[in-house]
Amino acid sequence: MCTSTRTKAGYDNCILKPEGTEDDVWAWIQDHPRISNPTEVVLVPEGALNYKAYWLQVPPWDGQGTARVKASIDRASNTVTIDGEGFTGVVLYFNDVLLDLDKPVKVVCNGSDHLDVIPRSLATMLDLFVSSRNDPGKLYTATRNYDLPAKPKPK
């Protein structure tokens, strides 16, 4: 899974070291600190797995054709940009680490713009926490569903 998933996602940086020791694992962990709220997420599902990564979720996929989503956040402009295929929608999870929720958030889905005020919700945060879709390193206070229109055909 490691090699094929990461290669499909455009990241061929998986390290396999069968002879690795505990010291090797700890050295790798120290060299690769966890980024709880990354500003870029690439999601390439395989079968019935990998439908959520950090603040991005896609609906289940039947495994036919190509399905891939790349999403990025620019906090300076309060913008989320989503480029994807193989899905008709996405769910975004929001918090104040990623965006300024006191201001309108611009979401661009395959070129289609949305400008929304995203209200924080204690009930949403608690629901996500209880359902294990949150963790202490990345609490989300709001979610929003967005349609992902088909990409325009190149001319």
pLDDT by residue, tens only, the chain of 155 residues: 344 555 555 666 667 788 989 998 898 888 888 888 899 999 888 766 678 888 999 988 777 788 899 999 999 999 999 999 988 999 999 999 999 999 999 999 999 999 999 999 999 988 888 877 656 678 889 999 999 998 877 77
- Residues 77 and 52 reside in one and the same domain: yes
The residue among 131, 76, 65 whose CA lies nearest residue 99 is: 76
- Residues 69 and 29 reside in one and the same domain: no
Check: CB of residue 18 under 8 Å from CB of residue 2: no
- Measured between alpha carbons, how far is 28 from 135 in angstroms, rounded to an integer? 22
Domain that holds residue 19: 1-33
The tokens describing 38, both together, are 């990354």
Task: State how many domains the chain has.
Answer: 2
- Residues 80 and 133 reside in one and the same domain: yes
- Residues 7 and 29 reside in one and the same domain: yes
Q: Which residues contact 99 (CB under 8 A, 6 or more apart)?
A: 73, 75, 78, 80, 105, 118
